[in-house]
C-alpha cells in the first residue's frame, strides 16, 4: 500500500507498491515523497531510481480515492511530482508493463526515463471524463512533440513505449530496453549521469510544431465534432494549446482549473461509474477469484449463420482455433464466405493487416460431423431459437463432447436450465448470449443455470476478457437482463404510439436523451418480426399482459424494417436513411380510431421518462429476483449492449441521479393513465423501499 526504499550501491531505489496497479494513493504518494527526501539527505546517494512492484509501473492516480479528501491530501500528485522534479539529485523512472495517467505524469517529472519494451503508455484520463491533471498536458507535448502528445491525450489510448521512442526528437524515453534488463539499465544510467548538471527537466523544453495554431484549430474542429456530449476532449485540446502559448507555470494553472472543473461534471461521475461497473461485473459473489479455470484451447461453434459466424470470429481474433459445424455444406460455405468478407473489409479499411487475416482464417475449420468436435474444450450452440432444436443439438453434444468440455448456448430468451437438462452434465452447461453483430458488440450475457459449475462460470468470465467482451452474469429468466428490460421499454414505445406519438417523435426524443438509436429505428434495423414472434408467444403465455397492437398491424403488412425495405419508416433502395412513412401514419390513425383513442400531444420529457423508467423498474425487479447481481451490472448491460448514453452511466445510475423519489413520483402519474399499464407502473418493492429511505441503487 506504499512505496519501499532501498540502496543499490550509491543509488536509492524507490519502489511503488500499491497492488493491483500501484495506483498513486495517499499512502503511496507520502512514502514516495519521503523516499526522495531521504535520498536527498543521504550524502552517499548520487541518484534515485523510481520503479513499480508487480504488474505495473503505475496505473495512475488511485481512482478509488476520487471524491474523497485523500485524493487531494498532501502530498497530492502535483506536489509529489514537484518534489521529484525539484530533487537536487537525478531521478530516473524505470517503467515496465503499464505507465498510465498520473503514473506517466510522475515519470515526466523525473529527470530521466527508461522503459521496458512493450510497456503500455497512456494518458487515459479523457476516458474518465477528465484531462491529465498532474502536468501531463504541459509536459507530454514538451517531451514528445505537440501532435503525438495531443493524439495520446485526446484518445486516451495506450501506445507501446518502443513506438514512442522512435519519434524523431522525442525526449520521453532516454532508453528502451528488454524488460529483464530494466533495473540494470537504470542503475547503469544512474552511474553515467550521476554528476551531470544541470538536471534535465521536461518543463524547460518547448512543445514543438511547425504550425501549432493551424494544427490546434484543426484538432478543435475534429474533436468538437466527435465529442458533443463529452466536455473533456475539447478541454484537453485547450490545455495542450496552453503548452504552446503560455509559460509552464501558467499552463499548469490552466490545466489545474480545467481538471477541477471536469471532476465536478456529471459526465465524469458517469464515466468513473462505468469504469468500476465494468470491473465489478467480472466478479461473481460466490465464485472465488482464484477458482481454477478449465483450459480453453479449442472451440467449436454449432451453426454457421450470422450469429455462429460472428461468434467464431471473436475466438479467431484471440488466436483460438474454431471448428464450425453445420448440417449442410452450402450453409458452411456461406458461413465461411461471410467471415472472409468481414475480414477483407477490415483489411480494405486498414483495420487489419493482411497477414493477420490469413493467420485468423488458418485457425478456422469446418465440419458436418459431430464426431469431429468431440475434443473441443468449449462448444457454443448458435442454432435456431426453438427449444426442440436446442434439445436435438444438446443431446448430440452430450453424446460426443469429451468430459469437462463446456457446453454453451447462445440462446437469447430460452430457459438455460431446460437446455442443461437435455444433457447428463448440467454442471457443464452455461448460457453465452452474444449480441448481433457478435464480432462487434462488446456485451456478453453469461447465463448461470441452477447447476452451472463455479469453475465453468470463472472460465467463461476469464475467456470473455480474452475475447474483449464485457461479460455480465445473468440468472435464468425469459430475456435474461437486457431483453427482459427492453421488452418493457418496447411496450412503452408502443403505448406512446397508441396515445398520439409518431415513431419519429419517439425516436427523436430518445436520441436527444442520448440513445444511439430510438426504439423504432432500432426495430427497423434488428427486424420487427423478431418482436412479433416474441409477442405471439407472450399472448399465449400471458394473455392479460397487454401490448399496443400497432407493431402487429405493421408486421401483418410485411413491414419488417430495413430487410424488407420498409418498416416503421420507408427506405430508399440501398439506403438506410429512415424516412417517415405516410403508410405508417395512416395505419396509426386507423389503429387509434379503432380503439376510440383521441391522439394527444406528448412531451419529450414524458416520452423519455416512460422509456427509461420502464427500464429502471424492470431492473429493480431483476435485482430483487437475484437475476442481476448488482445495479451496476444492469448499467453495464445497457451501456455495452443497448446504446444507452455512456455519459449518463446507465439506467440505474441515471435513476440515482434523478432521485428515486422523483422516479417513483413520475411512475404514479403513468399508472393513472388508463391507456398504459397501471400494474406495471407499481414500483418494484426494492425501488419503493429505496425511494422511501432516500437511498440509491448504488
Q: Give CA–CA dist 644/635, Å, rounded.
A: 9
Residue 525 grid coordinates: 434495423
DSSP state, 570? E
Tell me: does residue 61 bind ligand T1G (CB under 6 A).
yes
Give the relative orientation of helices 519-526 and 482-499 as an angle to the nearest 10 degrees: 120
Q: Which is nearer to ligand T1G, 23 or 527 (CB)?
A: 23
Shortest Å distance, C-beta 481 to ligand T1G: 20
What's the min distance (Å) between Cβ of 633 and ligand T1G?
Answer: 14
100 binds ligand T1G (CB under 6 A): yes
Shortest reach from residue 58's CB to ligand T1G, in Å: 8
* 125 versus 633: smaller Cβ distance to ligand T1G: 125
Considering only residues 164 through 183, tell me which ones interact with ligand T1G, judged by CB under 6 A: none
Number of helices (H), then strands (E), in the chain: 28, 19
270 binds ligand T1G (CB under 6 A): no
Pick the closest to residue 145 from 222, 62, 48, 244 (CA basis). Answer: 244
- Determine, following the binding rule CB under 6 A, whether residue 233 of this chain makes contact with ligand T1G: no
| Minimum distance from residue 465 beta carbon to ligand T1G (Å) | 7
- Give the nearest distance from C-beta 348 to ligand T1G in angstroms: 31
| Residue 507 C-beta: closest distance to ligand T1G, Å | 34
Q: Which of 98, 401, 555, 631 binds ligand T1G (CB under 6 A)?
A: 98
Minimum CB–partner distance for residue 364 and ligand T1G (Å): 27
> Residue with the closest Cβ to ligand T1G?
101
Binders of ligand T1G among residues 22 to 41 (CB under 6 A) are 23
Q: How many residues bind ligand T1G (CB under 6 A)?
A: 25
129 lies in the binding site for ligand T1G (CB under 6 A): no
- Between helix 604-624 and helix 651-658 the angle, nearest 10°, is 110
> How far apart (Å, rounded) are the C-alpha atoms in residues 187 and 674?
78
Asked if residue 254 binds ligand T1G (CB under 6 A), the reply is no
Among 35, 52, 60, 475, binds ligand T1G (CB under 6 A): 60
**497 forms part of the interface with ligand T1G (CB under 6 A):** no
Say if CB 553 and CB 587 are below 8 A apart.
yes
Q: Which of 52, 109, 129, 132 binds ligand T1G (CB under 6 A)?
A: 132
Region of 44-52, 93-101, 164-172, 511-519 interacting with ligand T1G (CB under 6 A): 93-101
The DSSP annotation for 595-628 comes to: HTPPP----HHHHHHHHHHHHHHHHHHHHHTTSB
Q: Which residues contact 698 (CB under 8 A, 6 or more apart)?
A: 273, 631, 632, 652, 653, 656
Buried b (16+ CB within 10 A) or exposed e, 316-344: bbbebebbbbbeeeebbeebbebbeebbe
Instruction: Tell me if 99 contacts ligand T1G by CB under 6 A.
Output: no
CB-CB contact of 32 with 80 (8 Å):
yes
136 versus 431: smaller Cβ distance to ligand T1G: 136
CB contact set of 594 (below 8 Å; sequence gap of 6+): none
Q: Is the dihedral of CA 632, 633, 638, 640 positive or negative?
A: positive
62 binds ligand T1G (CB under 6 A): yes
Integer angstrom CA distances of residue 338 from 223, 262, 310, 321, 335: 34, 44, 9, 17, 5
For position 269 contacting ligand T1G by CB under 6 A, the verdict is no
Measured from the CB atom, the residue of 64 and 395 that comes closer to ligand T1G is 64
Q: Indicate which residues carry an active-site annotation.
A: 105, 125
3-state secondary structure of 300: strand
> Is residue 467 a contact point for ligand T1G (CB under 6 A)?
no
Sign of dihedral through CA atoms 15, 18, 24, 27? negative
Q: Which of 450, 479, 512, 529 is nearest to 634 (CA)?
A: 479
What does the alpha-carbon distance between residue 409 and residue 137 come to, in Å, rounded to a whole number? 48
Interface residue with ligand T1G among 129, 133, 303, 527 (CB under 6 A) is 133
Radius of gyration in angstroms for the set of CA atoms belonging to the chain, rounded to a whole number:
28
CA distance 308 to 383: 8
- Helix residue ranges per DSSP H, 500-650: 503-513, 519-526, 528-541, 550-556, 582-595, 604-624, 631-641
Cα 677 from chain centroid (whole Å): 34
Residue 633 touches ligand T1G, criterion: CB under 6 A: no
202 binds ligand T1G (CB under 6 A): no
Torsion, CA 153, CA 244, CA 227, CA 78, rounded to 10 = 50
**472 counts as binding ligand T1G under rule CB under 6 A:** no
Choosing from 116, 128, 146, 234, the residue that interacts with ligand T1G (CB under 6 A) is 128
Query: Per CB under 6 A, does 494 bind ligand T1G?
Result: no
Q: Is 468 in the site for ligand T1G (CB under 6 A)?
A: no
| Residue 23 vs 90, nearer CB to ligand T1G | 23
Contact status: 444 vs ligand T1G (CB under 6 A): no
Residue 105 found at the interface with ligand T1G (CB under 6 A): yes
Nearest approach, Cβ of 296 to ligand T1G (angstroms)?
A: 18
Report the distance separating Cα 577 and Cα 157, nearest Å: 32
Smallest separation (angstroms) from ligand T1G to the CB of 380: 24
Q: How far is the CB of 103 from ligand T1G (least distance, A)?
A: 7
Name which position in 86, 206, 221, 279 contacts ligand T1G (CB under 6 A): 279
Closest to ligand T1G by CB, 464 or 522:
464
Stretch that binds ligand T1G, among 123-131, 177-185, 193-201, 525-533 (CB under 6 A): 123-131
Q: What residues line the site for ligand T1G (CB under 6 A)? A: 20-21, 23, 56, 59-64, 77, 98, 100-102, 105, 124-125, 128, 130, 132-134, 136, 279
Amino acid at each position: 500500500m506504499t512505496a519501499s526504499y532501498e540502496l543499490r550501491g550509491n543509488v536509492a531505489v524507490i519502489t511503488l507498491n500499491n497492488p493491483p496497479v500501484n495506483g498513486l494513493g495517499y499512502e503511496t504518494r507520502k512514502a514516495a515523497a519521503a523516499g526522495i527526501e531521504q535520498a536527498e539527505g543521504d550524502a552517499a546517494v548520487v541518484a534515485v531510481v523510481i520503479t513499480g512492484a508487480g504488474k505495473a509501473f503505475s496505473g495512475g492516480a488511485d481512482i478509488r480515492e476520487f471524491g474523497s479528501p485523500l485524493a487531494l491530501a498532501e502530498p497530492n500528485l502535483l506536489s509529489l511530482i514537484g518534489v521529484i522534479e525539484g530533487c537536487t539529485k537525478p531521478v530516473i523512472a524505470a517503467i515496465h508493463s503499464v505507465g498510465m495517467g498520473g503514473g506517466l505524469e510522475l515519470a515526466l517529472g523525473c529527470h530521466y526515463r527508461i522503459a521496458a519494451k512493450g510497456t503500455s503508455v497512456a494518458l487515459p484520463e479523457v476516458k474518465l471524463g477528465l484531462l491529465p491533471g498532474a502536468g501531463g498536458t504541459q509536459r507530454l507535448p514538451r517531451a514528445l512533440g505537440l501532435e503525438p502528445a495531443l493524439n495520446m491525450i485526446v484518445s486516451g489510448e495506450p501506445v507501446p513505449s518502443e513506438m514512442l521512442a522512435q519519434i524523431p526528437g522525442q525526449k520521453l524515453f532516454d532508453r528502451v530496453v528488454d524488460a529483464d534488463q530494466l533495473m540494470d539499465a537504470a542503475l547503469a544510467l544512474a552511474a553515467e549521469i550521476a554528476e551531470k548538471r544541470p538536471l534535465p527537466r521536461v518543463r524547460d523544453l518547448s512543445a514543438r510544431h511547425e504550425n501549432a495554431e493551424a494544427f490546434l484549430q484543426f484538432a478543435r474542429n475534429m474533436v468538437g465534432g466527435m465529442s458533443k456530449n463529452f466536455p473533456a476532449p475539447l478541454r484537453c485540446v485547450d490545455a495542450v494549446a496552453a503548452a504552446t502559448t503560455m509559460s509552464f507555470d501558467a499552463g499548469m494553472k490552466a490545466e489545474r482549473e480545467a481538471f477541477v472543473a471536469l471532476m465536478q461534471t456529471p459526465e465524469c461521475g458517469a464515466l468513473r461509474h462505468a469504469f468500476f461497473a465494468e470491473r465489478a461485473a467480472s466478479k461473481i459473489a460466490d465464485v472465488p477469484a482464484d477458482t481454477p479455470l478449465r483450459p480453453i484451447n479449442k472451440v467449436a461453434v454449432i451453426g454457421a449463420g450470422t450469429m455462429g459466424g460472428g461468434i467464431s470470429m471473436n475466438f479467431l481474433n484471440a488466436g483460438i482455433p474454431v471448428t464450425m459445424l453445420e448440417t449442410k455444406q452450402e450453409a458452411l460455405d456461406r458461413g465461411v464466405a461471410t467471415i472472409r468478407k468481414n475480414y477483407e473489409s477490415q483489411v480494405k479499411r486498414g483495420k487489419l493487416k493482411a497477414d493477420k487475416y490469413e493467420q485468423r482464417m488458418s485457425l478456422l475449420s469446418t465440419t458436418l460431423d459431430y464426431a469431429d468436435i468431440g475434443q473441443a474444450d468449449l462448444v457454443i450452440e448458435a442454432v435456431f431459437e426453438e427449444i426442440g432444436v436446442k434439445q436435438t443439438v444438446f443431446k448430440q453434444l452430450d453424446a460426443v463432447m469429451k468430459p469437462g468440455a463446456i457446453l454453451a448456448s447462445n440462446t437469447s430468451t430460452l430457459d438455460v436450465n431446460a437446455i442443461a437438462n437435455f444433457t447428463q452434465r448440467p454442471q457443464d452447461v452455461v448460457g453465452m448470449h452474444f449480441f448481433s453483430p457478435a464480432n462487434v458488440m462488446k456485451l456478453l450475457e453469461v447465463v448461470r443455470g441452477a447447476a452451472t459449475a463455479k469453475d465453468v462460470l470463472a472460465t467463461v468470465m476469464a475467456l470473455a476478457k480474452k475475447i474483449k467482451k464485457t461479460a455480465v452474469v445473468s440468472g435464468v429468466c425469459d430475456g435474461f437482463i437486457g431483453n427482459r428490460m427492453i421488452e418493457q421499454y418496447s411496450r412503452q414505445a408502443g403505448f406512446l404510439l397508441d396515445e398520439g406519438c409518431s415513431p419519429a417523435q419517439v425516436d427523436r426524443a430518445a436520441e436527444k436523451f442520448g440513445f444511439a438509436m430510438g426504439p423504432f429505428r432500432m426495430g427497423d434495423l434488428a427486424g420487427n418480426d423478431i418482436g412479433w414472434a416474441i409477442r405471439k408467444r407472450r399472448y399465449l403465455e400471458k394473455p392479460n399482459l397487454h401490448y399496443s397492437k400497432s407493431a402487429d398491424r405493421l408486421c401483418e403488412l410485411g413491414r419488417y424494417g430495413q430487410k424488407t425495405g420498409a418498416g416503421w419508416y420507408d427506405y430508399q433502395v440501398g439506403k438506410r436513411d429512415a424516412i417517415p412513412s405516410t403508410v405508417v401514419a395512416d395505419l396509426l390513425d386507423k389503429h387509434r380510431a379503432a380503439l376510440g383513442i383521441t391522439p394527444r400531444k406528448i412531451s419529450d420529457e414524458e416520452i423519455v421518462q416512460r422509456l427509461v423508467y420502464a427500464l429502471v423498474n424492470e431492473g429493480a425487479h431483476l435485482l430483487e429476483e437475484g437475476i442481476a447481481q448488482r445495479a451496476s451490472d444492469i448499467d453495464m448491460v445497457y451501456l455495452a449492449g443497448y446504446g444507452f448514453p455512456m455519459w449518463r452511466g446507465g439506467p440505474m445510475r441515471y435513476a440515482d441521479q434523478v432521485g428515486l423519489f422523483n422516479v417513483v413520483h413520475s411512475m404514479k402519474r403513468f399508472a393513472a393513465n388508463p391507456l398504459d399499464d397501471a400494474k406495471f407502473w407499481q414500483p418494484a418493492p426494492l425501488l419503493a423501499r429505496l425511494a422511501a429511505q432516500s437511498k440509491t441503487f448504488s
